[in-house]
Amino acid sequence: MTDQTAAPDEQDSQDRRVLLVHDTSAEPALWRAVLGKGWALSAATSEGDLRRELGGPVLPDLVIVEVSDYAGSGQVIVEGLRSNPTTQKLPVMVVVPRDGERAELIALSDGADEVLRHPLSVLSARARAWRIVNAGPDRLPPPLLQKLPMMPDDFGLAELPPAFMVLLRVYPDGLILIAPGGRLVAWSDEFTAMWSVDPATLGAMTFGRLREVMAEQLDSERFGNGALSKEKIDDLLAGREGDVKTKSGRYLRLMPVNVGLPSVESLQVDCWRDVTEVYTKQDWRLDAFIDKLMNALPYQVYVKDRESRFVRVNKHVATRLGLSDPAQAVGLSDADFYSEPHARRTREEEIALLSFGKPLIGQIHHESMVDGRRQWNMSTKVALRDASGAVVGLFGMSNDVTIEREHRQAIRDLESFAHSVAHDLRAPTRAVEGFSQLLANAEAELSEAQRTDYLGRINQAAKRMDQIIDNILRLSRITYATLERSQVDFTALCSDVVASLRQSYPDRPFKAEIQEGMKVSADRGLLLIAMTNLLDNAVKYSAKADEPTIQVGQIQRDGETWLYVRDNGVGFHESEMGTIFDQFHRLRTKAQFSGSGIGLATVKRVIDKHNGDIIVKAVPDEGACFYFKFSPSQSPRLAAK
């Protein structure tokens, strides 16, 4: 359905009543958008609903019939409306599939005022609805039950004109003629050849059985599946998915065709054309121009099919995906390069675009690659349509905005840094200033004990300022440090940190449980800084527990290894989880626990440096657990390339 939002002028202020008879849950919402303002829509999905809607004192102004099988239930509905004197003059609009030529003819002969085919044009559908409703009950109704000439189920080859039989034998495309009952009437030699069907068996086949035989010839590997669903097969053989590929390597296209037999207008004719050359013999000059144009643009430019697989990409996309040649991306999708959540989210957005044709403009994503890289990208995507207006894929342009986002974050960090430094340094500065003035006051009569106490306070304040400055410099060095990965014995590293903490806190006995055999690919120096801060926090915040206990281990979640540090200390409230990793954030006051408020911010910087993730779970007075993971240094797919 094309997205055209302009609305026609309303005929009057009274809403027109429209009854939608349908057999799926999608149509009501779509039709409300199609009809726009001035309509009050009700829906019927069963015979009981229909009787109730038509049995009231006020009839609808318009009936829209959109069912999957018009020749079955749809025909019964329209014939019932036209044969009932009460509803005989109701305006009726029928909607059929794109390939529903036979259903369209039947609906017109049943007395429908209008028959529309998918995909709908919003303006056209809206205008036709207004036209037939405004014509009023005195309009000239369609001829009631004046059937168009139909072909009998027992129609045979003998009833086809001789000239047509000659045409059938020499026709360059694959033709198959089907009677209304599904019996196969005639076929061309090219049809049997392209679909690898034995001509001797066709005479005894029904159209349903023929479709099963044709389905066996489809190349399911093109779609990355061992088997295709029935719905997918139906879409392919009805031409709704564009060109199809057979196991023999042919690309076939279902073409519209008119056999030109006035006496058998209801004859279904499928015409398949071999378009393999379109895929194998492209104009090299046009190819070269397109490649040159795509690569000249300073953006990532790509074309995808309806399954969100790459059809063509430029060199910038290849570089972002870690490929040496843009041709390596053809046939692959985001799922081959990005994390599963990101690939799934992108596919959902593109399904909406491919279904409704609505473009995505300036969409910003935080992309997670399967090799652990994280980047910010801004994308614009528009639908690609064929000559009939059907959406066959999408064209996209993306721009890496990672540096811009990092600059903005750096500015925010600088502002936070300036505010926090000023706030944290103010208290020790005031202490130095205040006690210095007391000592310098010649008139003050101070005892030796008081002087010693004041000097001690000045010394503590100076140490506090020195500690804050060291922490700030350490955090800055982590941000700009070069990452040097190696295989680290995580169990041994944590054991060393715990041993050091026991020496630093001789008056704080605690139990440490560290899982054996843990290893991780990381920068050992940065990892040591992160674990020192995490374990120091765990010791500090569990000091008041009856039996202070720290646990370090690893778990598997969704196929990934997560490390954790758990304590049974004071924990914290859920309201603090959003700011716990902010610079200079303090969970408790200085009177309760010492610290600069920069430890967890440092841990977060180290994890981010490894393109990892860290989350925390905590309960007040029951402890906290920090879960974190590091990305692999390289994905298996990219390593294989």
Q: What is the pLDDT of residues 211-220, one digit of tens each?
A: 899 999 998 7
pLDDT value of residue 340: 81
- pLDDT by residue (tens digit) across 379-432? 999 998 877 778 888 999 988 887 787 777 667 666 665 665 665 566 677 778
If you count them, how many residues does the chain have?
641
Strand partners, 268: 178
Q: In this model, does residue 632 exceed pLDDT 80?
A: no
Q: In this model, does residue 493 exceed pLDDT 90?
A: yes
Lowest mean pLDDT: which of 108-117, 456-465, 533-542? 456-465
What is the rounded distance in angstroms from the CA atom of residue 333 to the CA atom of residue 343? 8
Tell me if residue 306 falls in helix, strand or coil: coil
- pLDDT by residue (tens digit) across 76-106? 888 888 888 888 888 999 998 877 777 787 8
Phi-psi category of residue 611: left, alpha or beta, with phi > 0 → left and psi -120 to 50 → alpha: left
**Is pLDDT larger for residue 376 or for residue 262?**
376
pLDDT value of residue 590: 40
> Which tokens go with 531?
């674990």
Band (58; pLDDT cuts 50, 70, 90)? confident
pLDDT value of residue 159: 55
| Maximum Cα interatomic distance, the chain, rounded to a whole number of Å | 130
**Which range has highest mean pLDDT (89-103, 156-170, 419-433, 483-497)?**
483-497
Indicate the residue type of 457.
R
Lowest mean pLDDT: which of 211-220, 348-357, 591-600, 603-612? 591-600
pLDDT value of residue 150: 42
Band (636; pLDDT cuts 50, 70, 90)? very low
> Is-contact 40 16, C-beta < 8 A?
yes
Query: DSSP state, 622?
Result: T
Q: In this model, does residue 178 exceed pLDDT 90?
A: no
Query: DSSP state, 338?
Result: B
Lowest mean pLDDT: which of 13-22, 89-98, 325-334, 438-447? 438-447
pLDDT value of residue 46: 80
Q: Write the DSSP string, 443-487.
A: T----HHHHHHHHHHHHHHHHHHHHHHHHHHHHHHHHHPPP--EE
Band (144; pLDDT cuts 50, 70, 90)? very low
- pLDDT by residue (tens digit) across 194-209? 999 988 888 788 888 8
Name the phi and psi angles at 183, rounded to 5.
-80, 140
Band (520; pLDDT cuts 50, 70, 90)? very high
**Taking Cα atoms as reference points, which of 224, 370, 425 lies closest to residue 310?**
224
pLDDT value of residue 489: 95
pLDDT value of residue 140: 52
Residue 213 C-alpha from the chain's centroid: 35
**Is pLDDT larger for residue 548 or for residue 171?**
548
**Taking Cα atoms as reference points, which of 417, 533, 424 lies closest to residue 468?**
424
pLDDT value of residue 441: 77
pLDDT value of residue 88: 86
Indicate the residue type of 92.
V
Sign of the four-CA dihedral 359, 362, 366, 369: positive
Band (584; pLDDT cuts 50, 70, 90)? very low
Band (582; pLDDT cuts 50, 70, 90)? low
The stretches of 269-401 forming alpha helices (DSSP H) are: 276-280, 284-296, 315-321, 340-356
**Residue 278: which H helix or E strand, with range?**
helix 276-280
Query: DSSP state, 298?
Result: S
pLDDT value of residue 261: 52
pLDDT value of residue 552: 95
Q: How many CB atoms lie within 10 A of CB 442?
A: 4
pLDDT value of residue 259: 54
**Which range has highest mean pLDDT (432-436, 461-465, 527-531)?**
527-531
Band (459; pLDDT cuts 50, 70, 90)? confident
- pLDDT by residue (tens digit) across 332-387? 988 888 878 788 888 988 998 888 888 888 888 777 665 556 778 889 999 988 77
Strand partners, 178: 184, 268
> Which tokens go with 174?
């694959």
pLDDT value of residue 370: 59
Query: DSSP state, 142?
Result: P
**Taking Cα atoms as reference points, which of 478, 482, 483, 484 lies closest to residue 413?**
478
pLDDT value of residue 214: 92
pLDDT value of residue 635: 38
Tell me if residue 195 falls in helix, strand or coil: coil
Tell me if residue 577 falls in helix, strand or coil: coil
Mean pLDDT for the chain overall: 78
Tell me if residue 385 falls in helix, strand or coil: strand
Q: In this model, does residue 577 exceed pLDDT 70?
A: no
What would the mean pLDDT of 257-281 be, rounded to a whole number?
69
> Is-contact 131 101, C-beta < 8 A?
no
pLDDT value of residue 514: 94
Band (480; pLDDT cuts 50, 70, 90)? low
Among residues of the chain, what percentage have pLDDT more than 90?
12
Name the phi and psi angles at 166, rounded to 5.
-65, -45
**Is pLDDT larger for residue 171 or for residue 33?**
33
What would the mean pLDDT of 281-302 be, rounded to a whole number?
73
Band (50; pLDDT cuts 50, 70, 90)? confident
Q: What is the dihedral of CA 366, 369, 373, 374, to 10 degrees?
A: 0
Domains of the chain: 16-134 (3.40.50.2300), 157-279 (3.30.450), 285-400 (3.30.450.20), 417-480 (1.10.287), 482-641 (3.30.565.10)
Q: How many CB atoms lie within 10 A of CB 295?
A: 14
Band (455; pLDDT cuts 50, 70, 90)? confident
**Taking Cα atoms as reference points, which of 490, 514, 520 lies closest to residue 502?**
514
**Residue 115: which H helix or E strand, with range?**
strand 114-117
Q: Per-residue b/e over 207-228, b at no fewer than 16 CB within 10 Å?
A: beebbeebbebbebebbeeeeb
> Which tokens go with 610?
């490894």
Q: In this model, does residue 481 exceed pLDDT 70?
A: no
pLDDT value of residue 149: 41
pLDDT value of residue 120: 78
**Taking Cα atoms as reference points, which of 210, 247, 209 lies closest to residue 228?**
247
> Is-contact 494 517, C-beta < 8 A?
no
pLDDT value of residue 165: 66
Q: In this model, does residue 492 exceed pLDDT 60?
A: yes
pLDDT value of residue 392: 86
pLDDT value of residue 146: 39
